[in-house]
């Protein structure tokens, strides 16, 4: 019976890192018992397939710059929106000097349309232009008066980081592999299966004693990594802590004299069996509920987010209420 002597390695459920670790150790065992296996081309084919998978994995890790680039873009969009929001709020300030300063900067910002909706290159160039103008003699006093300097510094930092990541990802596309990580995994698994089929044939014709060393070491390896994946699979299906969710920034709320109810946006990030990031947007009343405190008068309001269903635990988030 096929694979009656060797344990089945559940390689399709291994993470990318575990898959490469398993096959690296597996290749070592094959090389150690190459004389008993007695088919060098099979081991050479296994080596070639694994080297290919490792090279693709390294490229994929480098391509995480793409994900980081998107994260930085979202952050700079948030900061830019914070700047425009701060300017609009101060246009209603009781102090006429602050009000005029805010209107002066708003007129400048209004000359740029849909900044956060531009393509990457256009947004980077536009933000550089805005930063240069807002720091010029014509706008710097107004910027200082309404407290925009920290916002502008942060926007410049994120814009610079974004530009660097764009350059990195442009370089990485030049070395993009010709097959996917999933395809390379299959080729490595296939290369190993040719060797294990060979071992099974040896056992049928010559008995286990002739290759018992390989069988023992390979079975221990397969058992170890199968245990790892089973433990990980169990953890993945346990309830997640709500405190690990990302909460989108909550903008300042306007005082109305009535309770301010804000439904926060929560994102839970995890990785699948291929080490690929997956994001889940949590649903209010299904995945979490919220209770509020100090959410009427101007000042710092508090919300207690409690997990429901697949999510457990609590976390506290605050937001500001201002009188306009």
| DSSP code for 207 | -
Distance between CA atoms of residues 93 and 148, nearest Å:
15
Please state at what angle helix 181-206 crosses helix 40-62, rounded to 10 degrees: 160
Most confident of 37-41, 48-52, 81-85, 224-228: 48-52
Q: Which two tokens stand for residue 163?
A: 């530009």
Distance between CA atoms of residues 50 and 135, nearest Å:
54
165 has a pLDDT exceeding 80: no
Q: Are 222 and 7 in contact (CB under 8 A)?
A: yes
- Give residue-wise pLDDT tens across range 182-212: 789 999 999 999 999 999 999 999 999 989 9
Q: Which two tokens stand for residue 110?
A: 């209004």
40 has a pLDDT exceeding 60: yes
Express as a percent the part of the chain with pLDDT over 70.
88
Q: Which band of pLDDT confidence, cut at 50, 70 and 90, is reported for residue 232?
A: low
Mean pLDDT over the full length of the chain: 86
φ/ψ bin of 114: left (φ > 0), alpha (ψ from -120 to 50), beta (otherwise) = left
CA distances (Å), 226 to each of 19, 218, 229, 298, 314, in order? 11, 12, 5, 56, 34
Other CB atoms within 10 A of residue 92 CB? 12
Map tokens 């903008």 to a residue.
Answer: 251
Is the whole-model pTM more than 0.75?
A: no
30 has a pLDDT exceeding 90: yes
């Amino acid at each position: 019976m096929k694979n009656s002597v060797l344990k089945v390695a559940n390689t399709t459920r291994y993470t990318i890192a575990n898959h490469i670790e398993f096959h690296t150790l597996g290749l070592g065992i094959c090389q150690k018992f190459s004389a008993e296996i007695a088919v060098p081309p099979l081991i050479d084919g296994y080596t070639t397939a694994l080297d290919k998978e490792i090279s693709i994995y390294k490229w994929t890790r480098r391509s995480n710059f793409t994900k980081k680039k998107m994260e930085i873009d979202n952050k700079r969009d948030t900061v830019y929106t914070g700047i425009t929001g701060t300017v609009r709020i101060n246009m209603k300030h009781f102090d006429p000097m602050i009000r005029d300063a805010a209107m002066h900067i708003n007129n400048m910002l209004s000359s740029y349309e849909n900044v956060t909706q531009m393509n990457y290159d256009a947004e980077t160039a536009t933000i550089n232009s805005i930063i240069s103008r807002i720091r010029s003699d014509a706008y710097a006093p107004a910027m200082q008066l309404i407290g925009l300097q920290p916002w502008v510094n942060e926007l410049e930092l994120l814009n610079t980081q974004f530009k660097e990541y764009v350059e990195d990802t442009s370089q990485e596309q030049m070395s993009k592999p010709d097959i996917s990580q999933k395809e390379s995994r299959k080729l490595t698994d296939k290369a190993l299966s040719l060797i294990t089929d060979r071992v099974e044939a040896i056992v049928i014709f010559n008995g286990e004693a002739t290759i018992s060393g390989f069988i023992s070491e390979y079975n221990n390896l397969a058992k170890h990594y199968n245990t790892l994946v089973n433990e990980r699979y169990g953890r993945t299906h346990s309830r997640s802590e709500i405190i690990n969710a990302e909460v989108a920034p909550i903008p300042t709320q306007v005082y109305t004299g009535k309770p301010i109810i804000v439904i926060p946006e929560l994102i839970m990030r995890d990785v699948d069996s291929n080490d690929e990031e997956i994001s889940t947007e949590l649903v209010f009343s299904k995945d979490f509920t919220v209770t509020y405190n100090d959410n009427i008068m101007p000042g710092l309001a508090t919300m207690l987010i409690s997990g429901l269903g697949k999510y457990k635990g609590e976390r506290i988030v605050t937001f500001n209420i201002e009188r306009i």
